[in-house]
């Protein structure tokens, strides 16, 4: 008897994505959709999209979605979850959105313990606008606005959001994962499932930082971009569980 051991999740639509070949968004979308399927949340979820490449995620997720202004996804999520606590609410944000322009919203939503899930895609660069420096750009890394590389004395060091947020009392679950090989994707899947579980149990703010490759802006082919994430990103951003109130 043949069994289907891997299929496209129901919470994804059939629409082909607009993402570049090898972009991590596709995998991260699928993992979120798998969590929505797993917990039976397709008809009970609102996703909040942020400004950036993933702003069009409404095309790809077969759940209710709303588009937030740049950096304000967690304020929008707060408005939804506070008025409708029965809904499962997640935000899907890039590094510019969550860690730069939306830093205040991120810190305060986390500190209030808003019962929402945050999927934070850290690819060390501004993707949609064409590869400018992000708050998470690595030291020495060249971008279109740091032509000689990010300098500690000029731009400061990369913001480590998982470490920062794990210090806040309102955060129930906080983990950093990567998507650079199949085993890492399995880990990421577990983390995203636990983040949704934490919300369903009403534990508080749950946060998954996902290290992801932007091959296009790194000027690398997809497999090389994955290796770069494994070798460079994972060194600057250690993977692991930083907080888990369930454990």
Comparison of 77 and 198: residue with beta carbon closer to other proteins: 77
Comparison of 32 and 133: residue with beta carbon closer to other proteins: 32
Based on the number of CB atoms within 10 Å of its own CB, is 177 exposed (0-12), middle (13-18) or buried (19 or more)?
buried
Q: Write the Ramachandran bin of 50: left for phi over 0, alpha for psi from -120 to 50, otherwise beta.
A: beta
8 Å CB contact between 65 and 87: no
Candidates 120-128, 149-157, 178-186, 237-245; binding stretch for other proteins (CB under 8 A) = 178-186
Give the integer Cα–Cα distance in Å for 87 and 44: 5
Minimum distance from CB of 214 to other proteins (Å)? 12
8 Å CB contact between 75 and 68: yes
Does position 205 bind other proteins by CB under 8 A? no
Comparison of 106 and 137: residue with beta carbon closer to other proteins: 106
Does position 177 bind other proteins by CB under 8 A? no
Give the integer Cα–Cα distance in Å for 53 and 96: 11
Based on the number of CB atoms within 10 Å of its own CB, is 16 exposed (0-12), middle (13-18) or buried (19 or more)?
exposed
The one-character DSSP state at 63 is S
Does position 39 bind other proteins by CB under 8 A? no
Stretch 110-169 residues interacting with other proteins (CB under 8 A)? none
Residue 132: helix, strand or coil by DSSP? strand
**Binding residue for other proteins, selected from 37, 38, 39, 44, defined by CB under 8 A:** 44
Closest CA to 116 of 32, 185, 176: 32
Does position 182 bind other proteins by CB under 8 A? yes
Give the integer Cα–Cα distance in Å for 55 and 209: 18
Comparison of 64 and 155: residue with beta carbon closer to other proteins: 64
Stretch 60-119 residues interacting with other proteins (CB under 8 A)? 61-69, 71-72, 75-84, 87-88, 104-105, 108
Comparison of 45 and 206: residue with beta carbon closer to other proteins: 45
Comparison of 151 and 186: residue with beta carbon closer to other proteins: 186
By CB under 8 A, name the binding residues for other proteins. 1-9, 12, 16-17, 19-27, 29-30, 42-46, 48-49, 55-56, 58, 61-69, 71-72, 75-84, 87-88, 104-105, 108, 179, 181-182, 185-186, 222-223, 226
């Amino acid at each position: 008897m043949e069994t289907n051991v891997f299929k496209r999740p129901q919470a994804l639509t059939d629409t082909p994505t607009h993402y570049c070949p090898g972009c991590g968004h596709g995998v991260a979308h699928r993992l979120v959709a798998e969590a929505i399927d797993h917990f039976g949340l397709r008809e009970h979820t609102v996703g909040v999209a942020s400004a950036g490449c993933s702003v069009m995620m409404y095309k790809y997720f077969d759940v209710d979605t709303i588009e937030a202004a740049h950096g304000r996804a967690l304020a929008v999520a707060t408005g939804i979850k506070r008025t409708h606590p029965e809904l499962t609410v997640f935000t899907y944000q890039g590094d510019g959105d969550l860690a730069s322009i939306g830093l205040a919203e991120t810190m305060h939503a986390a500190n209030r313990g808003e019962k929402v899930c945050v999927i934070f895609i850290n690819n060390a660069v501004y993707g949609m606008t064409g590869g400018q420096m992000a708050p998470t750009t690595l030291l020495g890394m060249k971008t279109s606005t740091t032509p000689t590389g990010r300098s500690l004395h000029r731009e400061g060091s990369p913001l480590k959001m998982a470490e920062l947020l794990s210090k806040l009392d309102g955060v129930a679950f906080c983990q950093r994962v990567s998507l650079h090989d199949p085993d890492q994707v399995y880990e990421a899947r577990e983390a995203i499932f636990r983040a949704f579980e934490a919300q369903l149990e009403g534990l508080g703010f749950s946060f998954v930082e996902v290290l992801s490759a932007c091959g296009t802006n790194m000027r690398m082919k997809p497999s090389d971009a994955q290796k770069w994430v494994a070798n460079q990103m994972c060194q600057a951003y250690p993977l692991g569980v930083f907080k888990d109130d369930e454990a």
